[in-house]
Structure 1
Amino acid sequence: MGLLSAIRDADWLTFQRVRAYALMLGVAAFALLAMAWIEATGETGSDFLAFWGAGKIAAGGDPALVYDLAVQERVQTATASRGWFAFVNPPPFLFPAAPFGLLPFPLAWIAWVAVGYAVFVWAGIRAFPRLWPLVLVYPGALIAATHAQTGLFVGALLIAAVHRLDSHPVRSGAMVGALIVKPHLALLWPFWLAAGRRWRAFAAAAVCVLALILVSWAVFGTATWLGYRESWDASADLMRRDAAEFYLRMVSLYAQARLYLAHPVALGLAVLLTLATIALAVRSWQRFTGDARASGALLVAASALASPYLFSYDLPFLLFPTLWLVEQGRRHGFRPFEKLALVGLYFAPFALRAAALPLGLNLMPLASAVLVWLVWSRGGREPDMRSEG
């Protein structure tokens, strides 16, 4: 009974111990980031090469060339990297990328990760000030940092947009609109905002999208937007290769289904899942009686299942539903086995990516589904009031 109780209730996992574990994790994270920088600035290269290359080309005065694969290859391989990456983000992304293109690649990598982590931590701590140690060392953010990817910036937008929805709806909507740089991560937002009748945020998001399109068109020109359309072929080519290693780096149901099923079947499953997540996001307002923070936790968790095109480095936003559940547990009492389940979900974006290649399957879609269920099941019930621990 002692062992069962230790697993079921995990009363030994106090917040004081969590802070100590977070410190140890932070030391390990710093070492991992140092190793990632050494690898990124060597022959292996880094995903960040695409953003840096685009920023360098745009700052050089001919932004239309950011989508020219030959130009990108020449710019990126000049850093001593043997590999290079296509730039496939829409033109508004050039606004944040261009300043980093003015720096040498090794310094730009450090600056990109430092700024991204700072913005992410700021958004996370504003949303969960009492859980700041868990924000600082979130493994989902660490994997985005080691890749020097966009997940830290996008995660900050998603977290801040939910957190600020009721207090600053226009600002929240503008942050949703800024997700035009990663539009597939905003898939559920129009349905969710409309269902919650958050019309000011809805309008602000639409205005922000339109403004970013028009301003980027004015600054970077028509040729850049036409080049972006041509870049879609680069993304499509990756999907056409049907490489198992590529799919294992993805965290969508579609990608894992493609390992074993034909494309039409996998796509059909993905469409059904997307429709299901839309329904959950819409219904969450009723489930949580209009509580935007709770409903937003469901929305953000479901966003990890909604898109068929998603990678581990896109998942820092899962901090919000994970810590929302921790917040609810500390405030109203943890359910049986919930503490250890949350520990597993906290580490899942990093751990399941590491395990994917050895296992031959990325289990992150399953973890995301569990996270959605845990959030959903917190609604429509009377809380079991306990003291925080």
Structure 2
Amino acid sequence: MDWLRRADWLTHERVRGYALLLALASLGLVAISFWRAMPPGTTDFLAFWGAGQVTAAGEPAAAYDLAAQQQVQTSTGSPGWFAFVNPPPFLFALVPLGLLPLPIAWIVWVASTWGAWAWVSVRAFPRLWPLVLAYPGALIAAGHAQTGLLTGALLVLAAHELPRRQVVAGAAVGALVIKPHLALLAPFWLSAGGKWRAFVAAGLVVAALLGAAWLIFGSDTMLAYTGSWSASRQLIERPDPDFMLRMSTIFSQLRPHLGDFVALAGAACSAVLALAVALFAPQRFGDDASGASAAILAATALASPYLFSYDLPFLVFPTLWLVIQGLERGFRPYEKLGLTLLYFAPYATRAAAFPLGVNLMPLAALALLGLVWTRTPAGTRKHR
């Protein structure tokens, strides 16, 4: 069936038109998310806004005080509240938000982080800007008003700049100290590829951000952050199937059905695979540093047992890298169809998780990694 094998009906003009329609529809969905986030609704963003409120008031250690956060966040009329668990350097980004009313802060946060992610991603793939603007993985991150757009911008920036400006790429990696489990592969990625300037730049930025946070927010805040680890541990340890369905890892999908031992074994296998990709991708892709980066960003979705669907905007890089490969060297059989499904996967797998009783994003991440890994730099035969 050539209409599936070759998917010639997915022409440039149609894809562009579909993408722009999807982008317009996404604006409506984000507006609905905003409406649901405002009291008497609730939103993850309350944790950021509450942390920004107390930090702007001169009490940054209270960002990690559960009682203080409950009081600040529920004062908005929200029936729920959320623990703030990000490292202290993230407070620098939240202070301005704490000076704003909750609705304005939500809009500013989503608009600024989406803008940063879109700008970086369009720079990486200027030919595919409609696909960037409509990317469903960014839509779910925007709707949650979480960190995924900011961390996605940093990962895409690192991947794009690594072949060009190592120091910029390393600085972007270092800034991931705000959510360090997304940088688990970074030391192996940079060292295996011999990107030592990026490696040093990343370390210096981490040290500078931690030092600045210690200097400005004080020792009490740094110590209070260590207390938030117990809140994170309780989240991951609690036997809550609904919570696990919101996650997008092998661990989270195995645990409710097969127990802790099998889930931990699955997580270990997933992490080992991701580590192997980070170590061997530079060798496999040779001078094609963008190809190696695409493989490593795809593997990043498999590296940690703690990852949510809203953390996945960085997958725009391996997805669109594959599109560029297809446009320049020819698409393989069924690759157009596969890439279409993977393009929607971060949003679609989360939307289908509760009806299906399983989040299929780990399988989508594996498929994405497989497609990238088999796109070697030389000798790929074109399929028209």
Find the aligned partners of 1:43 and 1:357 in 2 and give their Cα distance: 24
Structure 2 match to 1:75: 72
Find the aligned partners of 1:308 and 1:381 in 2 and give their Cα distance: 34
Find the aligned partners of 1:11 and 1:24 in 2 and give their Cα distance: 20
Structure 1 match to 2:90: 93
Q: Which amino acid is the alignment partner of residue 130 of structure 1?
A: R
Residues 1:354 and 2:355 aligned together: no
Q: Which amino acid is the alignment partner of residue 168 of structure 2?
A: R
Structure 2 match to 1:53: 50
Residues 1:170 and 2:167 aligned together: yes
Decide which of 351, 360, 378 is 1:363's aligned counterpart.
Answer: 360
Further displaced range: 333-342 or 24-33: 24-33
Find the aligned partners of 1:108 and 1:204 in 2 and give their Cα distance: 32
Residues 1:304 and 2:291 aligned together: no
Find the aligned partners of 1:103 and 1:380 in 2 and give their Cα distance: 49
Structure 2 match to 1:25: 22
Find the aligned partners of 2:53 and 2:289 in 1 and give their Cα distance: 40
User: Is the partner of 1:260 in helix, strand or coil?
Assistant: helix
Find the aligned partners of 2:10 and 2:275 in 1 and give their Cα distance: 35
Q: How does 1:200-349 map to 2 (within 5 A)?
A: 200-349=197-346
Decide which of 142, 150, 155 is 2:152's aligned counterpart.
Answer: 155
Q: Which amino acid is the alignment partner of residue 118 of structure 1?
A: G
Structure 2 match to 1:106: 103
Find the aligned partners of 1:331 and 1:311 in 2 and give their Cα distance: 33
Find the aligned partners of 2:278 and 2:229 in 1 and give their Cα distance: 29
Residue 385 of structure 1 and its aligned partner are, at CA, apart by: 4.8
Which TM-score applies when normalising by structure 2?
0.98
For the aligned residue pairs, the C-alpha RMSD in angstroms reads 1.1
Residue 383 of structure 1 and its aligned partner are, at CA, apart by: 2.6
Residue 380 of structure 1 and its aligned partner are, at CA, apart by: 6.0
Residues 133-180 of structure 1: CA deviation (Å, up to 9, x unaligned): 000010000000000010001000000111001211111101100000
Identity across aligned pairs (percent)? 56
Find the aligned partners of 2:237 and 2:368 in 1 and give their Cα distance: 31
Structure 2 match to 1:382: 379
Find the aligned partners of 1:342 and 1:317 in 2 and give their Cα distance: 15
Structure 1 match to 2:141: 144
Find the aligned partners of 2:377 and 2:105 in 1 and give their Cα distance: 48
Find the aligned partners of 2:383 and 2:265 in 1 and give their Cα distance: 44
User: Is the partner of 2:91 in helix, strand or coil?
Assistant: helix
Find the aligned partners of 1:185 and 1:97 in 2 and give their Cα distance: 20
Q: Which amino acid is the alignment partner of residue 63 of structure 1?
A: P
Contact 1:52 1:108 in 2 (8 A): yes
Can you give the 5+ residue segments of structure 2 that lack an aligned partner in the other structure? none
Matched residue count: 384
Contact 1:331 1:386 in 2 (8 A): no
Residue 277 of structure 1 and its aligned partner are, at CA, apart by: 1.1
Find the aligned partners of 1:139 and 1:148 in 2 and give their Cα distance: 14
Contact 1:331 1:385 in 2 (8 A): no
Residues 1:185 and 2:182 aligned together: yes
Find the aligned partners of 1:246 and 1:370 in 2 and give their Cα distance: 24
